[in-house]
Amino acid sequence: MLQLSYQSPQVTAVPVQRAAAREDQDGPWHTEAVCRRDEAGLFFAPSKEPTAARLSREEAAKRVCARCPVLVQCREHALLQPEPYGVWGGLTAAERRVVLARRRRQDIELKKAQSAA
């Protein structure tokens, strides 16, 4: 099992929990993940990470995601699970919560509109 550490910039593989979920739920799209070749330690916070370091790490992770050919698949996977931690598909956990809340509101409004018609 791959152990991730923010202190270890030599990590070059996707975290085990990511790879397993991707294979099981969404097919082999994770094999195209850019983060398999980059510093996977960027994507998950070490314990007690200071805010400035977290923001810097998350921005670095998002830059990796921005050049990833499976960004959309990764993001949807993380939203559907939902994945509670880490940067997935260029979104932090907090950003994914916002997207999910927006989708829930849109679903409610759509159902209201359908029942009123």
Residues placed in the known binding site for [4Fe-4S] cluster: 35, 65, 68, 74
Phi, psi torsion values for 91, nearest 5 degrees: -120, 140
Smallest distance, ligand SF4 to C-beta of residue 63, A: 10
Is residue 35 near ligand SF4 by the rule CB under 6 A?
yes
Is residue 11 near ligand SF4 by the rule CB under 6 A?
no
Cβ atoms of 80 and 91 within 8 Å: the answer is no
- CA distances to 19, 38, 62, 88, 100 from 66, rounded to whole Å, are 19, 13, 6, 11, 21
Contact with ligand SF4 (CB under 6 A) among 4, 11, 45, 65: 65
Site of interaction with ligand SF4 (CB under 6 A) = 33-35, 43, 64-65, 68, 70-71, 74, 87-90
